[in-house]
Amino acid sequence: MSQRVLVTAAAIVAAVIAVLSPDTAFAHGFSSTVYVNVTADEQGQVRTALELEYDLFVVSAADAEHEDPLFRAGNAAFEAQDTAGQAAALNAHADAAVRYVTGRFAVTAGGRACAPARVGDFTMGRREDVPYASLLLDWSCPGAGAHEVRTGLFADAEGYVKGVKTIVTYDIDGRSGSAALDAGHPSFSTGQAWYERFWEFFRLGAEHLLSGIDHILFLLALIAGSRRPREIVLAATSFTLAHSVTFMLAALGLVDVPARIVEPVIALSIAVVAGWHLWRLRRHGEHSADLGEDGLDRSGWTRLGVVFCFGLVHGLGFAGALGIDEAWSWTLLWSLLVFNVGIEVVQLGIIAVAFPLLIVLRRRSPRAGLWATGVIAAGVSVMGLIWFVQRVFGL
């Protein structure tokens, strides 16, 4: 295989991937997460504690021309990384900020709208090294019945973000747990059956893998580098076990690694696993590897160890995407397991479709199969290196 042709093909593949990815630095797209905690007192009054990404909140609550005082003050404080100034900007223009939230976030009881009232001042905090604004709202509900939370915060139509999800934790109406909302499923009700709540987490896990092009490319690198069903089964199992462990530990709050470390390592894992296959092609060729009785070459078990280690890091990325921060409960544990099952189902689906096609191609035309895996691996490796540089230097 001509090295020059391979490099050219790899560049084309990487360019196509870059075009398909809306954000090459963080390949999950321009997204944000809203966090909401819902509780009720003995009198039945509902309190919601909302956390919103600060810079997105300011630009969304400001007018379209970015000329109003909230945007000017809030943006200046954000650029200066002045936490006190950020809170002061929101509190100085609290009416506009609260009006934005209550116009797109609502609570009902028994189908009747509850009336919101701000409690205290805006405060500032951080999530994943990103400034978040906190807002407390008390809701007076006119009647009884199941409570419903509905959100339209940071809608795609506003043009600043895509793929916003809202993580709701709740302890109300004798129920406690978590719910995941997005544009396609904008509401949660305490009257929902348990399977409806778990379905939300299954869907969220499946959608996260489908929308996370970096995780998909990692899978493609595993597929391209596996020549036999046994190899892809072992590689996928190693990856699954590893990311399941760290996902559960991180989502339960037992492990906490900053995104600025996790995201570059995920990008590096893509480049390394894809590059490993290119190294095997160059050293052994497609059919001349020194295979042992177990069907793997001598570097195969080392590759599985590398995949397992990188799987641990991918699990941290999955947990960061879910963003749940609540006390342990059986409901939470089941929600996390269902989220992980959603990831696994999509992962297995991708392998079930792509790997047999590659096997058929290799059997019908070994040379074409060699080219296909080489080009895929080269393109994925180049893209992983691009993402790694962008994530390390914040480009």
Domain that holds residue 293: 3-28+212-393
247 and 272 share one domain: yes
Q: Which residue has the tokens 């296909």?
A: 372
B/e letters for 17-50, b = 16+ CB within 10 Å, e = fewer, are bbeebbebbbbbeebbbbbbbbebeeeeebbbeb
Residue 205 belongs to a domain: no
Q: Is 202 domain-assigned? A: no
Q: What is the pLDDT of residues 137-191, one digit of tens each?
A: 999 998 778 999 999 999 878 777 777 889 888 889 888 877 888 888 899 898 8
Q: State the pLDDT at residue 94.
A: 92
Q: Is residue 117 part of a domain?
A: yes
Report, as ranges of residue numbers, the positions in the chain whose pLDDT lies below 50: 1-3, 5-16, 18-29, 64-65, 286-295
Q: Tell me, what's the pLDDT at 301? A: 78
160 and 292 belong to one structural domain: no
Total domains in the chain come to: 2
Is residue 198 domain-resident? Answer: no
Contact, 163 vs 26, CB < 8 A? no
Residues 165 and 281 in one domain: no
The answer to whether residue 200 is domain-embedded is no
Which residues neighbour 35 within 8 Å (Cβ) at sequence distance 6 or greater? 50, 51, 127, 132, 166, 167, 169, 323, 325
**Does 223 fall in a domain?**
yes
Give residue-wise pLDDT tens across range 235-283: 888 999 999 899 888 877 788 888 888 989 999 999 999 888 888 777 6
- pLDDT for res 297: 54
Do 51 and 18 reside in the same domain of the chain? no
Q: Are residues 125 and 187 in the same domain?
A: yes
Residues 16 and 40 in one domain: no
